[in-house]
Structures are given as C-alpha cells and as structure tokens.
Amino acid sequence: MKKISVLGSTGSIGTQTLDVVRKHREQFQIEGLAAGSNKDLLLQQVQEFSPRKVSVATKELADSIRHDLPAGTEVYHGHEGLIEIAAATDAELVVTAVVGSLGLSSTLAAINEGKTIGLANKETLVTAGHLVTAQAAAKGVKLLPIDSEHSAIFQCLNGERHEDIERITLTASGGSFRDYTRDQLVNVTVEDALKHPNWSMGAKITIDSATMVNKGLEVIEAHWLYGIPYDNISVLLHPESIIHSFVEFRDSSIIAQLGNPDMRVPIQYALTYPERWSSPAPRLSLAEAGKLHFREMDLERFPCLRLAYECGKMGGTAPTVFNAANEIAVARFLRGEISFLRIEEIIEEVLHRHHNVQEPALETIEENDRIAREIASRL
Ligand code: NDP
Ligand code: MG
C-alpha cells in the first residue's frame, strides 16, 4: 500500500487524484487531505478515505467541521495546517495541488521530510525553482511531474542521457481565445475565458491558459525540472492537445507522448511510477483523430509568453514577481474588477518596477512576492 497526502484535495487536480485512488482502492491509503474552504466536499472525502489528518484554510472552518469528523481524524488549519498535511503524516508521496505560490512552504516542508512529490503546483517551481530543486537533490527526493506537458517530457526522457537532448517542446492548446485577434480580446468576459476547448481545470489555470501565462509558467517549470536552457525550450501551438509534448535528440529522433486530454493519466503515472497501471481515462484512437495540427506561437499575440521567457532568462526574483503579479491580476479578473487585457498590462507594469535580485534566499523571494502583490493590487 502506498501512503499518500493530497494538498488541495477539493480542487480539479485533487478530486482527479482521488478518482485514481478510488480506481485502485487496495493499493493506496490516504494519510492527509488539505482543502481551502469547500468543507462539504472535504467531509465527503473524509467519509470515503478516512485520512488521519485534514486541514482547511481558516480556524473558523476548522472549528465548524471538528464535530463532524470521525474519532481518528485530526483537523488543522491555515499555513501551518498545510505544512502539517505535507510533512507530518506517514505519507511517502505528497500531491501538491493547491493553486498559487501559497504551495511553496508546504512543498519545501514535504521535501525536507524526504517525501516524494507529485508536483501539480507549478507556481512553486516558478517562484523558487533553484531552492526547490536544490533541496530535492540534497534530500534525494523525486519531483514527479503531474502537469501533462512535463509528465510527457518525463516519459520521453526515460532512460535517455541528458547530453543527448537537443530541445524540448511544450505543446499549447491555445486556450479559450486561441483564434481571437487582439481587437477581439478587448471585450471578452470571465464566462468566455472559463470555456477551455480541451481541458476542464480550475478557474485560475483556465484563465492562465487563455493569456498564455500558463505556458510561460510551464517553460520555467520545465527549465527547473529538466535543467534545460531556455533557448532549448520551445512552445508549439497544437489545438487538439493530443501530443502532450516532445523531445528532440541529437541523432534527430523525436520522441513524443500522446493521449486524450485527461489529467488522470499523468496524475496516475506520478502515483504509480515507475509502473503503469490500467487507467479510467478513455483510450486515444489516432484513426478517429484523423489529423493533428501545429502552428508556430505568435509572441505579439501572446505577450505573456514572451514576458515569461524574459523573466526565466533573467532568473533571480523576476519569475517570482511575474507569478505574483499574475495571481493578483487573475483573481481581480475573475471577480469582474478588471478587463482581460489588463492582466498582461499589470504583469508588465509590476515587472517594470521590480529590481531583480539574483540567487534569492527564501525570505527574499517571499518579500518580493509580497511587494509584487501590493503593487499589482494598487494597479
Ligand atoms: P483548483 O482551483 O481547482 O483547486 C485548488 C485547490 O487548492 C482546492 O482544493 C482549494 O480548496 C485549495 N486551496 C485554495 N486555497 C487554499 C488555502 N488557503 N489553503 C489550502 N488549500 C487551498 O486548482 P487546480 O486543481 O486546477 O490546480 C491546482 C494546481 O495544479 C495549480 O498550480 C495548477 O497550475 C496545477 N495544474 C492544474 C491542472 C488542471 O488540469 N487543473 C493541470 C496542470 C497543472 P477549496 O476549493 O476547498 O477552497
Ligand atoms: Mg499543463
């Protein structure tokens, strides 16, 4: 039995992780679950999976569910609660599926305890890639990617030598507004933006896909996970989302990973690695798919991708600030307070005011994250 904790169990990745666990009930034991504020769903999950520890966002929420929990389940809350679920259970694998850089300290805590990480929370690597990867290396901890593109690359690199890699290419669906011109983006609504053509995901990442910030975060995530220079990481528009990403090698071979867009496949691979088990996801038929399409990315049309490459290459605190400004801007857009195109303007303006710090320590990262959020909020 593999013991697992899930941070963000009530979200899109969290619930799909529990789908995978449900499919292989005898093979997994859930040790801890952390949620934000969806207490009804968390209580259902507790009934079904009997974790020893759970956590919610606030003390009020924790107090309000304490009496509904079975005797064997303890409840925690807030930042410390998240760290408790990440680091202080018997779990050998922790799925990090909270959204945003709030996942950083709990991911570091889990690594510190030697737990394998099923990494969905890409903002963590973007914000502090050098610290997370260094700590994982020091502790001999595996970071198993759950993001579909990175899981694809991980599978393509299986058994390959690092020096043989020429280029990795992340595919991008193009998001909700793939075929819109810049002019057509002026008046788009939150509702329009939340309609992703291929993937059903949490709200924040769906907006990030429409702005192409998501692909930018993924380029930085790939840089840290695979130690590849930014000039050797490409992005290719692929509307069908069937090729999840691919690697070119120096003998000019290309290895790709394909499948229907279903997050349960990369989630399950992180849970069962290095084994492959039967999956609840529907199988891909290439004969039915018929044709696959590809297009070069237009960095004028998607300026956030250009900004992400620039921040990645700059290194230091630039990616932290890019991510923090985006988190604030997307939250505001989702509340209907700013327009869609204002998101990229805010990111660019916050970056403009930022003085980059190289090789930042955790406190410097947290400080710059906080300042970027303040400036973004004011803008
Ligand atoms: P969701 O918004 O669906 O879920 C976020 C989860 O985080 C929820 O369980 C939420 O709890 C929890 N949460 C929010 N605030 C807090 C808090 N203060 N303390 C503890 N938990 C909190 O996000 P997704 O599942 O879509 O994304 C999760 C991560 O995975 C992101 O980093 C995303 O980029 C990445 N990812 C997602 C993919 C997808 O298909 N969805 C694909 C690839 C990567 P509650 O709902 O109870 O408030
Ligand atoms: Mg992805």
Q: Which residues are bridge partners to 233 per DSSP?
A: 168
Give the confidence band of 197 by pLDDT, cuts at 50, 70, 90: confident
Please state, rounded to an integer, the average pLDDT across all residues of the chain.
97
Q: Is the CB of 105 under 6 A from ligand 1?
A: no
Instruction: Give the homologous superfamily in CATH for domain 2-145.
Output: NAD(P)-binding Rossmann-like Domain (3.40.50.720)
Q: What atom in ligand 1 is closest to the CA of residue 79?
A: 19
Percent of the chain with pLDDT over 90: 98
Q: Which residues of 230-258 are buried (b: 16+ CB within 10 A; e: fewer)?
A: beebbbebbbbbbbbbbbbbeeeeeebbe
User: Ligand 1, residues 13, 18, 64, 94: which to mutate, most atoms within 8 A of Cβ?
Assistant: 13
Q: Count the neighbouring beta carbons within 10 Å of the beta carbon of residue 37.
A: 12
Percent of the chain with pLDDT over 70: 100
Q: Which residues are bridge partners to 165 per DSSP?
A: 249
Q: What atom in ligand 1 is closest to the CA of residue 120?
A: 30
Give me the pLDDT at residue 338, please: 97
For the chain, domain boundaries: 2-145, 150-314
pLDDT, average across residues 102-117: 97
Give me the pLDDT at residue 198, please: 85
CA 53 – ligand 2 centroid, Å: 29
CA 14 – ligand 1 centroid, Å: 7
ipTM: 0.99
Binding site residues for Mn(2+), as ranges?
147, 149, 218
CA 67 – ligand 2 centroid, Å: 38
Give me the pLDDT at residue 202, please: 94
Give the confidence band of 304 by pLDDT, cuts at 50, 70, 90: very high
Q: What atom in ligand 1 is closest to the CA of residue 98?
A: 7
C-alpha distance from residue 291 to each of 128, 231, 238, 239, 288 (Å): 39, 29, 11, 11, 9
CA 73 – ligand 2 centroid, Å: 33
Q: For residue 57, give both structure tokens.
A: 């966002």
Q: Which ligand is nearest to the CA of 196?
A: 1
pLDDT, average across residues 251-270: 97
What's phi and psi for 67, nearest 5 deg?
-75, -15
38-64 pLDDT, tens digit per residue, is: 999 999 999 999 999 999 999 999 999
Give me the pLDDT at residue 41, please: 98
Give me the pLDDT at residue 196, please: 84
Helix locations, 250-339, DSSP H: 264-272, 286-289, 303-314, 318-334
137-188 pLDDT, tens digit per residue, is: 999 999 999 999 999 999 999 999 999 999 999 999 999 999 999 999 999 9
pTM over 0.90: yes
81-102 pLDDT, tens digit per residue, is: 999 999 999 999 999 999 998 9
Q: Is the CB of 201 under 6 A from ligand 1?
A: yes
Q: Is the CB of 35 under 6 A from ligand 1?
A: yes
Give me the pLDDT at residue 43, please: 98
